[in-house]
């Protein structure tokens, strides 16, 4: 299609091999009747929109294919009251292009979310969706992208309840945005109060709504509601007095992945947000006096089932409350973010599952002229396995251990210094330490594990320490000296006894010969010596 327009009244069924649109439009008017079926456009291969091409329906619209869906640039758009995109291997939303459901109409937005605004129960199709993609207007979401391998957003994806199901990767480029801001409930569970001659309190959700204060009258903010560990509620809004029909909306809901089919990777370099609406316009009564301002809408919900998150430089993930209006309006409470991690590797196989260089903002909205600020929203993560802690399941710091499941930083318990040698320090362990016996190493190679002693100290402490070793050494020296002394005495006595008992003795076969004087020769006498004649 080129430079042309196709108008359809009722429902459309179109089956083509390839759809190329150049400055072309397909406009579907389903009327005001709910019984009009969903319009279906199926392309077997390729769908490309260029040069301000638009596919739009004021009813339900389904677009499916087996190849590429590409919105090339500014002015290209696919819009519907409910929009289903499925089975493409890749969807590329170019700069300035739009995927949107519902349409830009307050009534349409309210109708799309009304069934969820009074409930705090999680719709089952968001947590445990069916395996196949269904074009069914009874489901909760307004915009679903189902069984699309890769989604790249450099433009705008906008909806009240956005559901990305059975996808592998989602990349939001620097100029891209996925938004459910200001598309939630206009009343809801956490709706703020409004005083006829005062100001409105902010709506609550993850945080309590701020109190509205004007003319001495106080309007309480809306209550907190929902489950921080598995949130799936829309943000609440506020209404004004009967004289003015103005109101504000809370943030919508964005769900990516599911318990059974988590997203493999989410990379955000632009914006992902579900903020509450702010009210900035001052109103004047018929008597010329200012009307108290409305409270801000509360932030919505971002629920992510995923394995890896990258939040790049200058990127943002926000669920902030809206600001209260002039004069005296209270700020809306912040919304809720939950990161439900899947397949967290532990031990030596651990890899970082989140890289956070951008900002995550869950703050409440500002109050106006005396109105109070909304309460802080919540951000939570799935319980981390042993050794890991926090919202992003990081490794416990060196010198701490964690031997239970959970995310609270206080679960990282300091290691005992009683078991740490004085010449040692605790060491890093991949995946964190998951037992109380924390690993360590000696400060120098000259010290030996496990006690970090020198070889001499190792010998000393083998015998119980310095004092026992000194005592043992002393005893050893005393015993040795006694043994040597006894041996010396024995040798000396033995030598003395030999000479006394037998001056000549009977030569032993081990004896050495010796010379004797004449007086010592047996059988001779002094008389014989003297009577011997002279020669």
pLDDT band at 242 (very low <50, low <70, confident <90, very high): very low
Please state, in angstroms and as integers, the Cα–Cα distance from residue 263 to each residue in 144, 168, 207, 256, 304, following that order: 14, 5, 28, 7, 8
| 422, two tokens | 């004085």
pLDDT at 382: 93
Q: In sequence order, what E strands does 215-353 have?
A: 217-219, 238-239, 247-248, 253-256, 263-268, 271-273, 283-284, 290-291, 301-311, 316-318, 336-341
Question: Mean of the pLDDT values across residues 476-500?
Answer: 78
User: Are 196 and 245 within 8 A, CB to CB?
Assistant: no
Name the pTM for this structure: 0.84
| 68, two tokens | 């590429």
Query: Using one digit for the tens of pLDDT, what is the confidence trace for 149-196?
Result: 999 999 999 999 999 999 999 999 999 999 999 999 988 899 988 887
Consecutive H or E run containing 346: none
First CA to last CA across the chain, in angstroms? Answer: 167
Average pLDDT, the chain: 87
What span, in angstroms and rounded, lies between the C-alpha atoms of 221 and 237?
Answer: 11
What span, in angstroms and rounded, lies between the C-alpha atoms of 367 and 216?
Answer: 16
Chain centroid to Cα 394, Å, comes to: 7
């Amino acid at each position: 299609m080129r430079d042309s327009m196709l108008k359809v009244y009722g429902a459309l069924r179109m089956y083509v091999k390839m759809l190329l649109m150049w400055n072309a439009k397909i406009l579907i008017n389903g009327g005001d009747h709910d019984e009009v079926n969903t319009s279906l456009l199926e392309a077997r291969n390729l769908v490309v929109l260029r040069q301000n091409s638009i596919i739009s329906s004021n009813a339900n619209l389904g677009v499916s294919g087996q190849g590429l869906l590409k919105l090339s640039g500014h002015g290209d758009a696919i819009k519907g009251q409910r929009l289903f995109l499925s089975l493409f291997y890749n969807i590329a939303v170019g700069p300035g292009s739009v995927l949107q459901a519902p349409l830009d109409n307050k009534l349409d937005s309210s109708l799309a979310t009304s069934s969820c605004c009074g409930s705090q129960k999680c719709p089952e199709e968001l947590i445990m969706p069916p395996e196949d993609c269904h074009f069914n207007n009874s489901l909760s979401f307004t915009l679903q992208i189902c069984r699309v391998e890769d989604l790249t957003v450099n433009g705008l994806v906008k909806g009240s309840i956005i559901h990305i199901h059975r996808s592998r990767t989602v990349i939001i480029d620097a100029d891209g945005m996925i938004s459910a801001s200001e598309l939630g409930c206009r009343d809801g569970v956490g709706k703020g109060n409004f005083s006829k001659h005062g100001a409105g309190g902010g709506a609550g959700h993850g945080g309590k709504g701020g109190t509205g204060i004007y003319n001495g009258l106080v309007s309480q903010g809306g209550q907190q509601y929902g489950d921080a560990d598995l949130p799936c509620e829309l943000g609440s809004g506020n209404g004004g007095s009967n004289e003015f029909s103005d109101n504000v909306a809370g943030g919508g809901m964005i769900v990516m992945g599911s318990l059974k089919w988590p997203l493999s990777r989410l990379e955000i370099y632009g914006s992902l947000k579900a903020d509450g609406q702010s009210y900035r316009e001052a109103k004047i009564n018929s008597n010329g006096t200012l009307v108290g301002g409305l409270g801000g809408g509360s932030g919505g919900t971002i629920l992510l089932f995923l394995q890896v998150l990258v939040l790049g430089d200058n990127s943002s993930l926000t669920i902030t409350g809206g600001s209260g209006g002039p004069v005296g309006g209270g700020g809306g409470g912040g919304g809720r973010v939950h990161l439900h991690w899947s397949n967290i590797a532990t031990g030596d196989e651990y890899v970082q599952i989140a890289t956070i260089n951008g900002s995550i903002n869950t703050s409440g909205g500002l109050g106006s002229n005396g109105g109070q600020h909304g309460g802080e929203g919540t951000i939570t993560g799935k319980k981390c396995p042993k050794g890991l802690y926090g919202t992003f399941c990081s490794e416990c710091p060196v010198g701490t251990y964690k031997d239970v499941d959970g995310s609270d930083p206080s679960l990282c318990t300091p290691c005992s210094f009683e078991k740490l040698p004085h010449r040692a320090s605790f060491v890093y362990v991949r995946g964190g330490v998951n037992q109380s016996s924390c690993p360590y190493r000696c400060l120098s190679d000259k010290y030996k594990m496990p006690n970090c002693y020198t070889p001499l100290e190792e010998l000393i402490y083998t015998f119980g320490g310095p004092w026992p070793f000194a005592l043992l050494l002393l005893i050893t020296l005393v015993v040795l000296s006694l043994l040597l002394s006894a041996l010396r005495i024995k040798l000396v006595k033995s030598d003395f006894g030999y000479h006394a008992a037998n001056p000549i003795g009977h030569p032993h076969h081990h004896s050495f010969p010796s010379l004797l004087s004449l007086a010592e020769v047996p059988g001779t006498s002094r008389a014989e010596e003297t009577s011997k004649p002279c020669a």
